[in-house]
Chain A
Amino acid sequence: MRIVVGQGSCGIAAGAAKVYSAIKNIVPDTCELTITGCIGMCFLEPIVDIYDGNNLIKRLVKVQPSDAQKIIAFVSGDENAVNDIEITDEDKDFLLKQTRIALRHCGVINPEKIEEYVADDGYKALEKVLGTMTPEEVIEEIKISGLAGRGGAGFPTWFKWNAARQAQGDYKYLICNADEGDPGAFMDRAVIESDPHNLIEGMLIGAYAIGAKEAVVYVRAEYPLAIERLTKAIAQAEEKGYLGDNILGTSFSCKMRIKAGAGAFVCGEETALIESLQGERGMPRLKPPFPAQSGYWYKPSNINNVETFANVSWIILNGGEAFSAMGTENSKGTKVFALTGKIKKGGLVEIPMGKTLRDVIFDIGGGIKNDAQFKAVQMGGPSGGCIPAELLDTIIDYKALGATGAIMGSGGMVVMDESTCMVSMAQFFLDFTAKESCGKCVHCRIGTKRMLEILNRIVKGEGKNGDIELLEELCYSIKDGALCGLGQTAPNPVLTTIKYFRNEYEAHINEKKCPAKACSELLSYRIVADKCRGCTLCSKKCPVEAISGTVKSAHSIDTSKCIRCGACYNACKFNAIVME
């Protein structure tokens, strides 16, 4: 028997490391204790799997260190010892309804052992490529697959590879963009933490295709575990001859290193990333020349996202056609989403393109937390937009999602319910982009700032007539005037919320009300005399002594003193306080 504890960052944050040590203290010699990466069911962490040989016989969820005894009892023969922590059939569906390609090893193998990756067809694609294919054939296979950049833009991967292949130059670079800065997205981190060799293999195939001798992974510094596991994986791959000089005995040589980013969202833009790699401020370059012609150190360079590379070895082994058989006419294969927010079952979801948002949020994600009303889903982070409930049947496809005003993006999918104010959501994203604007372009630097000021006013109840139109005008001028993707897409959250939730903006501006009852400065509190029992709890909780009344008689709130903190509302046990 083998006990496997899921140890991705999420799992560890949920307590998996403590579970691991609790089991380790009492595990018998006859039983192997090991780890795996992210299983993707974050809502059930910490997760412990029990294997008999290669068969998963029990999956245990929300495991606590105190459950260690039970687990040991189970592996020692007590069949019913872990029944109370076993995953339910309904929760099993979360994975069964997915199609895993980029994530196929995640939560299955031990990411720190190259042997487990190799045993699961690891590095077979590299062997096939180096042994039987020319670089042009590799590019052709990727072209057939229809693989497009998973970082957000959705540009055809083969086209970029081909451009870098064709570029003149004696030294070329292959770069992996693992600067996953989109708040609410964590699939790249999961791939690196859980299946680092798959990334290395995909990158090596890319390097062979374009003729690169050096590969660099630019990882967010906020992902220490990903950096640690990738560092180990690179060392193991070098030792086994998959990396370095004369790989697998061929004339192909490629070295690989990691560069830790230092925290700047704009570095997700490829030319800004290159500047950062060169030790500079991460400010985008003017294109053309494109990185394929003049990139890192002004040499031909190709940059792809982690998830893009994670699909490559599967495509080579199974053929481009098998990949393009999944999806829609203009979006092939699968896409990984990080499903979070007000969702019952949050985690990583990989599904074929062409499924609907409803499939992901309701069928796989189980719907909205506390059975609240679904309001919107934010896709693509600060560059994306909010898609409202009436468009839930939109299919997951670059074009279809683009038509809503949102984007596919890197895969962040943040679900919102009726308690989320869409104006304050737009404000939240603008606050982010205004801070992250590198400052190079006037429209982005000053435009996002002005937009943020307007939004700050609106949520405070100081909105004026004409603010919506002014926001729209600023949006279009930023889109037109910014050099890079950050600026060009920064207005999207504002534009989509105005498009689908204009009434909320109007309510804030004209009536000074927040329909979602989220903007504290627009709320007022009132005590319903009939319901008030005069328990005095609210007046005790009030920090500014705005509530008066005597015991057993109805209390009242002095609105001129009230600071709208909501302490009374939260304290009242009789629902006697109304928030309006």
Chain B
Amino acid sequence: MSCCNCKKSDLSLIKDVLDKYADVDGSLITVLQHAQDIYGYLPTDVLYHIAERVGVSPAKVMGVATFYSQFRLQPVGKYLIMLCQGTACHVNGSEKIEKAIFDELGISDGETTQDGLFTLKNVACLGCCSLSPVMMINDETYGSLTPDKAKEILKSLKSKEA
């Protein structure tokens, strides 16, 4: 992952978003959300470009980007595992699920597997408390997890990619 920021990002991809929002007061978060949708994360050169177009300092853009948990400064794997760490999931054993994911993929919170397939991110409540413990992989929610069930889900995704 170390050279992700050396690459030059295609800044034309974000032109439309900036044309629409750059001059609208208070739109920095919205611009960053769109940028993340486009690039999958927030590359440094894109942040500089946004700062220039919006007319604020790069430090400020970085300040906002690092304040909110939604934003990430590193690319994520093809499958983003969001493991719920809400209270209900905690009470119902999300820690064991986290360990199962580690056992299966060898990644902890914030890490990506070497093949670039899976990223694990611990998140605050996903709001599916009655199905706790819960994880969301890309747009699919998996509830009432047990360590074995979690491992099986990951195995089937892995075999799909093999």
Q: Which residues of chain B are near A221, meaning CB under 8 Å?
A: 33, 70
Question: Within 8 Å of chain A (Cβ to Cβ): is B32?
Answer: yes
Please tell me the number of chain A residues within 8 Å of chain B, measured between CB atoms: 52
Residues of B within 8 A of A340 (CB): 87-88, 129-130, 132
Q: In the complex, are the beta carbons of B125 and A185 less than 8 A apart?
A: yes
Flag whether A522 is at the interface (Cβ < 8 A).
no
A278 touches B26 (CB 8 A): yes
Residues of B within 8 A of A378 (CB): 87
A340 to B129, CA, bound (A): 6
Query: A297 to B25, alpha carbons, bound, how many Å?
Result: 10
State whether A432 touches B131 (Cβ < 8 A): no
Q: Complex Cα distance A14/B145, Å?
A: 12
Nearest residue in B to A15 (C-beta to C-beta)? B143
Q: Which of the listed residues B92, B130, B143 has the most CB atoms from chain A within 10 Å of its own CB? A: B130
CB neighbours of A186 from chain B (8 A): 125, 127-129
Knowing A42-B130, A341-B91 touch, does A432 contact B141 (C-beta < 8 A)? no
**A432 B29 Cβ-Cβ under 8 A:** no
Contact between B125 and A182, CB atoms less than 8 A apart: yes
A residues within 8 A CB of B85?
183, 432
Chain A residue with Cβ nearest B27? A279
Contact yes or no, B33 A45, CB < 8 A: no
Does A346 contact B87, Cβ atoms closer than 8 Å? no
Contact flags A422-434 to B (C-beta < 8 A → 1, else 0): 0001001100100
Flag if A43 contacts B33 (CB, 8 Å). no
A262 within 8 A of B: yes
Write the nearest CB–CB distance from B99 to chain A, whole angstroms: 9
A150-183 near B? 1/0 per residue, CB < 8 Å: 0000000000000000000000000000001111
The digit string for B110-152, where 1 denotes a CB below 8 A from any CB of A, is 0000000000000111111111101000000111000000000
A window 372-387: CB within 8 A of B: 378, 381
Nearest B-chain residue to A224, judged by Cβ: B139
Q: Which of A24-52 contact B (CB under 8 A)?
A: 42-43, 45
Contact call A43/B69, Cβ cutoff below 8 A: no
What is the CA–CA distance of A279 and B64 in the complex, to the nearest angstrom?
8
Contact of B124 among A183, A276, A279, A415 (CB under 8 A): A183
B130 touches A262 (CB 8 A): no
- Chain A residues contacting B126 (CB-CB under 8 Å) are 222
Assembly CA distance A261 to B68 (angstroms): 9
Task: A82 to B123: give the CA distance in the assembly, Å.
Answer: 39
Q: Is the beta-carbon distance between B27 and A9 smaller than 8 angstroms?
A: no
Q: Which B residues lie within 8 Å of A381 (CB)? A: 87
B127 pairs with A180, CB closer than 8 A:
yes
The answer to whether B129 and A338 have CB atoms under 8 Å apart is yes
> Is the CB–CB distance between A263 and B129 below 8 Å?
no
Establish whether residues B129 and A14, one from each chain, have CB atoms under 8 Å apart when the complex forms: no
A45 and B130 contacting across the interface, CB-CB below 8 Å: yes
Q: Which residue on chain A has the smallest CB distance to residue B123?
A: A222
Cα-based distance from A428 to B67 in the complex (angstroms): 21
- Distance (whole angstroms) from the CB of B85 to the closest CB of chain A: 7
Q: Is A328 located at the chain interface by the 8 A CB criterion?
A: no
Which one of A43, A259, A414 lies within 8 Å of B87 (CB-CB)? A414
In the complex with contacts A13-B143, A262-B33, A184-B86 CB distance below 8 A: yes
Contacts of A3 in B (CB 8 A): none
Contact indicator A428/B26 (Cβ below 8 Å): no
A342 and B88 CA atoms in complex are apart in Å by 8
Contact code string B9-48 (vs A, CB < 8 Å = 1, else 0): 0000000000000000111111011000000000000000
Chain B residues with CB under 8 A of A338: 129
Known contacts A278-B26, A279-B27, A184 near B88 by CB under 8 Å = yes
List the A side residues contacting B30 at CB < 8 Å. Answer: 259-260, 279
Q: Across the two chains, which residue of chain B brings its CB closest to A417?
A: B91
Residues of B within 8 Å of A13, CB to CB, are 128, 131, 134, 141-143
Residue A285 lies at the interface, judged by CB distance under 8 Å to chain B: no
* Most chain A CB inside 10 Å of its own CB: which residue of B28, B69, B123: B69
Select which of B68, B90, B141 is within 8 A of A12 by beta carbon.
B141
The answer to whether B143 touches A14 (Cβ under 8 A) is: yes
Interface residues in B64-90 by Cβ distance below 8 A to A read: 64, 67-71, 85-88, 90
Residues of chain A having any CB pair with chain B under 8 Å: 9-10, 12-14, 42-43, 45, 180-186, 189, 221-223, 259-265, 276-282, 297, 338, 340-342, 346-347, 378, 381, 412, 414-416, 420, 425, 428-429, 432, 438
List of 6 A-B pairs having minimum Cβ-Cβ separation, nearest first = A42-B130, A262-B68, A183-B86, A13-B141, A184-B87, A279-B28
A-B contact pairs, 10 of them (CB 8 A): A10-B130, A13-B131, A13-B143, A42-B129, A222-B123, A222-B125, A277-B26, A282-B67, A342-B92, A346-B130
